[in-house]
Amino acid sequence: MTTDKARAVLHELVDLFLEPEKLIGGMAATLIRAGDRPVDTWSWGNRLIVWLHGTSDARTFLQWKGAGRSITKGARAFFILAPCTYTVTETDEKGLEVKREKLTGFRAVPVFRLEDTEGKPVRSYEPPALPPLQEVATAWGITIDYQPLPGGSYGIRGSYSPTRKRITLFTEDHGTFFHELVHAADARIAPLQGGQDPDQEAVAELGAAVLARVYGSTIDRDAWAYIRAYHDDPAGAVRRLLPRVERCLSTILGELKTPAETALT
C-alpha cells in the first residue's frame, strides 16, 4: 500500500521532471547554524583556529570537566583568544548611570580538542522532532547525527557513511534526511561508489523527492537542478534509473510493515 503510493508518486514526479517548468523551486534552507556547545558562541577567528587544529569542538579544561570529560594523558592544548573586558559605570547624556563593557585586549586561553578527551558522550544537536522514517534508519543500525554546519562547507547538507553506518545532517530539512536514507537503501542493494557518483546522486535525490511528497514534508532543494548538475541528459538519466529508485523506495517502505499488514499480504 505505502509502496504502491510511493510508486505512483514516483511516476508522477518523473512526468514533472520531464516538464521541469512545472516544478516549484526550492525553499529557503533551514541550516543548523549554532548548537549549544561553547565553540558555537565563539568568534569566527577562534572557530577558524579550532578548524585549523583538525577538530569541530574544543573547550577549556574546566569546560570539558563540566561536560563530564577529562583530557587524555599527553594531550596538548592549543590557544584561542578571549577578549579581556572590564565593566565601568558611566553617566550618560541624560545624567543616568549606565554600565559599559570596556575591552582592554586579548588573552590566550588554552583549549583541548574533543578527540583528546574521554568520558561522557558529547550530546550532539537534537532537532525538535525527528524526521519521518527515522525508524527505518534505526532498524538498519544507522545513527542519525545532527551537527551545526562546519565553516567553509557551503552547499553540503548531509552525508551518509556506509562504513560508519552514520547519517550526518547539517539541516533539519526532511528532504536531506530522505536523500541520505535513499543512499543507505541503495547501499543495501549494491555497494555504493565512493564520492559523488552521478547515478547514485540522481537516485538519492529522486527517491528523496518522492518521500517528501508521500510525507508532505517541505524540501529545501530543487531536485531537478540537483540531478541536472550531475547529468548532461537528466531526463534520460531519470528514465534509466527509475527501476533502481523503485527498488530503493520498496526497501525503505518495506521496513514499515506492521505485523498486521504482514499477515495480510
With binding defined as CB under 5 A, does residue 223 bind Zn ion?
A: no
Query: Cβ neighbours of residue 15 under 8 Å, at least 6 residues apart?
Result: none
Of residues 63-92, which lie at the interface with Zn ion (CB under 5 A)? none
With binding defined as CB under 5 A, does residue 58 bind Zn ion?
A: no
Residue 104: count of CB within 10 angstroms of its CB: 9
Contact residue for Zn ion among 203, 204, 219, 241 (CB under 5 A): 204
Q: What size, in residues, is the chain?
A: 265
- Which range binds Zn ion by CB under 5 A, 67-75, 78-86, 116-124, 194-202? 194-202
109: β partners: 80
With binding defined as CB under 5 A, does residue 203 bind Zn ion?
A: no
Which residue type does 212 have? A
The residue of the chain with the least Cβ separation from Zn ion equals 204
Q: Are 226 and 155 in contact (CB under 8 A)?
A: no
Closer to Zn ion by Cβ: residue 204 or 238: 204
Exposed, middle or buried by CB within 10 Å (0-12, 13-18, 19+), for 55? middle
- Which range binds Zn ion by CB under 5 A, 69-77, 141-149, 204-212, 239-247? 204-212
Closer to Zn ion by Cβ: residue 58 or 181: 181
Cell matching residue 155: 552547499
With binding defined as CB under 5 A, does residue 248 bind Zn ion?
A: no
Nearest distance, CB of residue 58 and Zn ion, angstroms: 29
Of 200, 202, 192, 193, the C-alpha closest to 229 is: 202
Which is it for strands 143-146 and 58-59: parallel, antiparallel or unpaired?
A: unpaired
Q: Give the binding-site size for Zn ion (rule: CB under 5 A).
A: 2
> Binding pattern to Zn ion, positions 5-44, x when CB under 5 A?
----------------------------------------
Can you give the binding site for Zn ion, defined by CB under 5 A? 201, 204
